[in-house]
Structure 1
Amino acid sequence: MLSTYRPVLRLPGVARLYLVGFVARMPASMVGVVLTLHVVATLDRGYAQAGVVAAAATTGAAIGAPWRGRLVDRVGLRRAILPSVVVESAVWLTAPHLGYEALIVASLVAGLFLVPVFSVTRQSLSVLVPFELQRSAFALDSVCVELTFMLAPVLGVVLATQVSTTAALTVVGCITVAAGVLLMWANPPTRSAVPTQADAPAAESASGRIVSLPLLVVLLANLAATFVLVGTDVALVAALNEAGRPGDVGWMVALWAGGSVIGGLVYGARKRGLPPLVLVAILALATVPAAFAPPPVWLALAVVLAGLPCAPALSAINSTLVSLVDERRRGEVMGWSGTMSTVGTALGAPACGFVIDRSSPGAGFLAASVVGGGVALVGLAALRLTRGRRAARAAERAPVPELVDA
């Protein structure tokens, strides 16, 4: 397995990019659980209302991601993210002192100016890593994301439960400033010295809009995967709170991410990958056992199982995406990918929270699985139907051989 990743890590700038991305993603990976605990415990609201706060942040991110990506393409990384660093730090340093309604507005603003760490890291990988190594590179990037999610939420939960949620949100603001400054210092490349075309570039209309069906399928996979992940996150917090074990949230999330690390390393070492929608369907199916697992032991085993397909699904989405897009438009398209991810979060958090408030945490796991898996299956069916129609049309246009008498 090491022989698979050694050539990637030896490429100039790649190891540093992984390290910078690991640190810079920490605020994003801890803020969700901290916000949920703050709304439920400190503001004394329900899980559906906590989901609304999360949805406000992700709705803002969905709106802001494409233009931030386009800005990176046009003016470069440092000039593009400087306003984000300033606004994000101001929002998260004042958020702990706001009421519920004001917190919704602040979360929306934070989403609009979210530092595009995830998309920039993947965009830079597509520049630094040759195409034949990109599947392994993106698998390793997904593993790094999971490692961040193993450590950062634990820090957030410890601060929120042992000190206060106000202190936890303040730390989020401080780390946001540090992460933004670190990313600006590293300034990873987002475009080759000589711009290149992807192996299968998406077609563009006269207006410059990308209209590739494969691209739409990848974006749909991203939405479905995010819905499953955020629903699982909300349901896990609810299950442990209901069992009177809120302090277990951190290490349970770490186990979930640990399963994803194992799955990502194994997947990245494979010689062949799987289509993103297939992996998303597997991800949804793997989440079902958590709905019936009592905490803590059985739930711990269930979240490890649920985590195994996470990194493979995300790495397949990202590696497929960059293979479809001309790098001159890659920042913008990665922004649209981020938009689909945040739409999945904006839908998944309140929807699963609504189900949990009216039923049980187990129903939240099932809702995430059914909806996310259903979207993946619909996408697979639509893609298969489209391919079938194209094959039928090709057969109709094929010349009919003439019959010659013997």
Structure 2
Amino acid sequence: MSSPSYIAVLRTPHACRLFGAALLGRLSYGTVFLSLVLAFTGATGSYAVAGVAMALFGLTSAALSPLRAGLIDRYGPRRALPPMALGYALLLAALAAATWRPGASGVALVALAVAAGACAPPLGPVMRTLWSDLLPDRRLLQRAYSLDTVAEELLFVAGPLLAGLLAVLATPAAGVALSAALVLSGTFALVSSPAVRTARTLRTGPPHAEPGTPPAPVSSRRRWLSGVGGLIQPVMVSAGVGMCLGALGLLMVVFAERHHQIAAVAWAEAALSAGSAVGGLVYGARSWRVSGQVRLPVLAAALGLALAAAGFSPNLYVLVAAVGVAGLFVAPALTTAYLLADESATPRNRTRASAWVNTAFNAGTSGGTAVVGLLVGSLPLPLCFVIAAVPALLSAATALGRSRRPAGSPAGGLLSETGVVPEGSGRP
């Protein structure tokens, strides 16, 4: 039997409209960070204020993402997403107005940034939950997740370019205003899709027991423990991959500076993104006989080894090539993490499971940048690359050890409506 293609994914009823709307809204997250940094710096004249505001914006956005995703699972996207998007867009519009001209209050900007981060709608996790609803065939779902991960990464390449262009042609605040318009239009286009109205896995209210059904606290506890166990591997590896990439971003800048070719950082970043896109599309197009619990640590280990080897590059040309090779494993690793998170969840917490993977990756990225920033001035650069690879290698080794546990153990099973289901069993 022939393997389904990416075309088959996009030909699924309502898929193109839904995916396009989600990408439109998610482009906001590609434009907003650079736009805010430039707008804060221009309005206050202080890099310190800009740094604090952006750190708190990113922290509240990532830390509260599972909470916002839980609201989506409980009330459904049609009820929960519009208020989030409207609040987020209004706060971005207020930031755009406040930074349009110099002289804004730093305290006010920080407060608005924190509030905006708290409201950011989790469009990525919602889209992945809808993919799971649209595509019950796991082979098609793997292709959809690969396509989604690659497209999201490309948005974070195109978004800063668009923000930079607006900063040059108009003002950085225009990029903030554009981010507000993008998230608002994309969110409302998404929730108006027929696929959202008929979604089975995104409930429109809290679950209710059948009349006369006695409570089952033990079963609920087992389901909770099983879900946590199923999420540990993808969340842990996602955090390790994020730490690697956060460290790599800084290490590439330091490498280029020491070779007196700072402009070449753009080529290294492009190689990383191109490698990730190619790797993600090739990975998603294949049908794998090895389980995701084994594939994920192997992909993370391959990324770590490629990153460690990149530190011994004799020049920037070799570094760019090595970074491109490392990129081949980024999108496949994240795709597999999202698939495993989806498998560990019930229809009532699927969005939250995906959000935890996102949060782990974002937290890992920030942590990796911070740790390498402390070490790079006092250690040889090749050693810093090796240290940057350690989180991916450690998370891979730990995850591989967990995947070898007996399938019946609570920490190694999938989450079902009735209790623990051994890994490898079909979804209900």
Which TM-score band (shorter chain)? 0.7 to 0.9
Q: Give the match for residue 115 of structure 2.
A: 109
The within-5 A match list for 1:4-403 is: 4-32=5-33, 45=47, 55-93=55-93, 94=95, 97=99, 105-132=111-138, 133-159=140-166, 165-186=172-193, 188-189=195-196, 192-193=199-200, 205-206=220-221, 209-212=224-227, 213-236=229-252, 252-272=268-288, 274=292, 275-293=295-313, 297-356=317-376, 365-384=385-404, 386-387=405-406
Cα offsets for 1:199-238 (capped at 9, x unmatched): xxxx963396353423211221222222223333344456
Distance 1:176 1:194, change over 3 A: closer
Query: 8 Å contact 2:22–2:187 — kept in the other structure?
Result: no
Q: Give the match for residue 414 of structure 2.
A: none
SS in 2 for 1:326: coil
Cα offsets for 1:127-167 (capped at 9, x unmatched): 00123322222112222223323322322344457876555
Distance 1:52 1:194, change over 3 A: closer
SS in 2 for 1:328: coil
Distance 2:388 2:40 in 1: 21
Query: 8 Å contact 2:73–2:202 — kept in the other structure?
Result: no
Give 1:60 deviation, angstroms.
1.3
Give 1:279 deviation, angstroms.
1.4
Cα offsets for 1:365-405 (capped at 9, x unmatched): 55432233323323333554x44997xxxxxxxxxxxxxxx
Distance 1:123 1:163 in 2: 38
Letter in 2 for 1:115: P
Mark the runs of 5 or more structure 2 residues left unpaired by the alignment. Answer: 204-217, 410-428
Query: 8 Å contact 1:51–1:353 — kept in the other structure?
Result: no
Distance 1:221 1:276, change over 3 A: same
Distance 1:37 1:365 in 2: 30
Give 1:43 deviation, angstroms.
5.4
Letter in 2 for 1:17: L
After TM superposition, the structure 1 stretch with the greater mean CA deviation from structure 2, 334-343 or 184-193, is: 184-193
Query: 8 Å contact 2:129–2:202 — kept in the other structure?
Result: no
Higher share in helix? 1
SS in 2 for 1:205: helix
Letter in 2 for 1:127: D
Distance 2:264 2:171 in 1: 16
Distance 1:130 1:294, change over 3 A: same
SS in 2 for 1:108: helix
Cα offsets for 1:52-88 (capped at 9, x unmatched): 6554334313432222222212222132122322332
Mark the runs of 5 or more structure 1 residues left unpaired by the alignment. Answer: 197-202, 391-406
Letter in 2 for 1:278: V
Q: C-alpha root-mean-square deviation of aligned residues, in Å?
A: 4.0
Say which structure, 1 or 2, has more relative contact order (CA 8 Å, 6+ apart). Answer: 1
Query: 8 Å contact 2:35–2:173 — kept in the other structure?
Result: no
Q: Give the match for residue 426 of structure 2.
A: none
Q: Give the match for residue 412 of structure 2.
A: none
Cα offsets for 1:168-201 (capped at 9, x unmatched): 44543443334334333447438744899xxxxx
Letter in 1 for 2:329: P
**Could you state the TM-score of these two structures normalised by the residue count of structure 1?**
0.76
SS in 1 for 2:81: helix
Letter in 1 for 2:129: Q
Query: 8 Å contact 1:92–1:173 — kept in the other structure?
Result: yes
Distance 1:319 1:14, change over 3 A: same
Distance 1:389 1:70, change over 3 A: closer
Distance 1:373 1:78 in 2: 41
Give 1:322 deviation, angstroms.
1.3
Query: 8 Å contact 1:146–1:258 — kept in the other structure?
Result: no
Cα offsets for 1:107-139 (capped at 9, x unmatched): 433332111111011000000012332222211
- The alignment of Structure 1 onto Structure 2 pairs a total of residues equal to 381
Letter in 2 for 1:64: L
Distance 1:100 1:278 in 2: 46
Letter in 1 for 2:339: S
